[in-house]
Structure 1
Amino acid sequence: MVKVIPMEKKHINKVYEIEKLCFSMPWSKESLRKEIEENDLAYYILVLDGDDIAGYAGMWIILDEGHITNIAVHPKFRGKGFGELLVNSLIKECKKRKLTSITLEVRKSNTIAINLYTKFGFKNKGVRKRYYEDTGEDAIIMWKYI
């Protein structure tokens, strides 16, 4: 059974494992812990496939905007629609909170993610030059107005 639930401190170790599998510059366990326990702006969710954490997503709620910080799906769960479920769940939360827009940065080379966001109505609104420290790659800034 697939379901979306709030992320809690007890999930950090497994989420950190997903971070390491998905990103060249993963967030640390401590960063994840601070997001869950200390950041009043943070909203994080998990998608579960049975008892397994298939992926997670997070955003910061800043005034009337959502800023997506992370979306990751464990490699063994890709291609099953979990990324779509996570993005859709974040958009629903924005609507519930009556936010006006949602934004994110994505690597210019990450066409799979760009296509996913475009499917949900995100538009390319600019570039952050050399945004990613590990490669110096540019980030595409995407926005969706709600």
Structure 2
Amino acid sequence: MSTTLNTRKATTADIPFLARIEYEASLPPLNHCFWEDLLDGTGTTALQFIEAELRTDASNWGNVADFLILEAQDKPVAAAAGYVPGTEDYCPLRLSRLEAIAHELKWSRENLTAFHDRYMAFWGGDLRPVFLTPQATWIIENVAVLPEARGRGFGKVLLRALLEEGRSQQHDFAGIMVLNGNDVARHTYESIGFKPYQTFHADYFSEQFNIEFPGVTKFGLRLN
């Protein structure tokens, strides 16, 4: 029996599912979510934080209205966000909404301050780091298929539908960024036409940020 697939725009009712998608998207290839390091000592899990981030419209990398959800047999199995990048802050979190996140999570002032300081240290205190500078008019982010639904081509179906959404919004160029070593994602993006155009290698991050990190590669695709 064939699987019935459909796509739809996300709503606030989808936030728990979108939080799981964003979490799953953050894992490869290190099998680790970077939010977990920043949340150490707060008593908050990465999933709880991501959900609060979405509820408070605090993401620079795609909020609820930016997500497209793929359903199989009327059940959500995958999602991805397509958004217009801001010009003031390229990092994942809108710090102006951090107080709202803290209120949502019932954080103490100490937790809020500790998280803020770790966040700024993690990104080097630069809200416009060179490696995150957008070169595309429209960015795809937080792409993930639930683990139990992988291996069935759902990622490609979702991305093709999202690219059509970008075309309908008259965007000219789509960009997407992949952590080096995430070969599954890279092959998926290349199979639908994305081409690599810029790589920041591990040496860049060790020299600029003093961290061990595999680096990132940016891919682009002309839409119109």
Decide which of 200, 205, 218 is 1:130's aligned counterpart.
205
Provide structure 1 residue ranges, at least 5 long, that are not aligned to the other structure.
none
Q: Which has the higher strand share?
A: 1
- Assess, with a 3 A threshold, how the Cα gap between structure 1 residues 72 and 94 changes in structure 2: closer, same or farther: same
Report deviation, 1:80. 1.3
Question: Equivalent of 2:13, from 10, 14, 28?
Answer: 10
Unaligned runs of 5+ in 2: 34-45, 87-135
Preserved CA contact (<8 Å) 1:41 1:62: no
Could you give the per-residue CA deviations for residues 25-52 of structure 1, whole angstroms, max 9, x where no partner exists? 267112233169xx78952111111232
What is the count of residue pairs matched by the alignment?
142
Runs of 4+ off more than 4 Å: 39-42
Deviation, 1:92, is 0.5
Report the alpha carbon displacement of residue 98 of structure 1 after superposing the two structures with TM.
1.7
Tell me the CA shift for residue 145 of structure 1: 1.3
Percent of residue pairs identical: 20
Letter in 2 for 1:68: I
In the TM superposition, residue 120 of structure 1 has moved relative to its aligned partner by 1.3
More helix, by proportion: 2
Residue 21 to residue 62, structure 1, CA distance change in 2 (3 Å): closer
SS in 1 for 2:163: helix
Query: Per-residue displacement from partner, 1:59-90 (whole Å, max 9, x unpaired)?
Result: 21249821012100001101111100111011
Q: After the TM superposition, which residues 44-123 of structure 1 pair with which residues of structure 2 at under 5 Å, given as runs?
A: 44-62=67-85, 65-123=137-195
Q: In structure 2, what residue type is equivalent to 1:143?
A: G
Q: Identify the residue that residue 143 of structure 1 maps to in structure 2.
A: 220
Check the 8 A contact 1:41/1:60 in 2, yes or no: no
The structure whose RCO (Cα within 8 Å, separation 6+) is larger is 2
Q: RMSD over aligned Cα, in angstroms?
A: 2.8
| TM superposition score normalised by structure 1 | 0.83
Q: Secondary structure at the match of 1:117?
A: helix
Is the CA contact 2:177–2:219 (under 8 Å) kept in the aligned structure 1?
yes
Equivalence for 1:29? 51
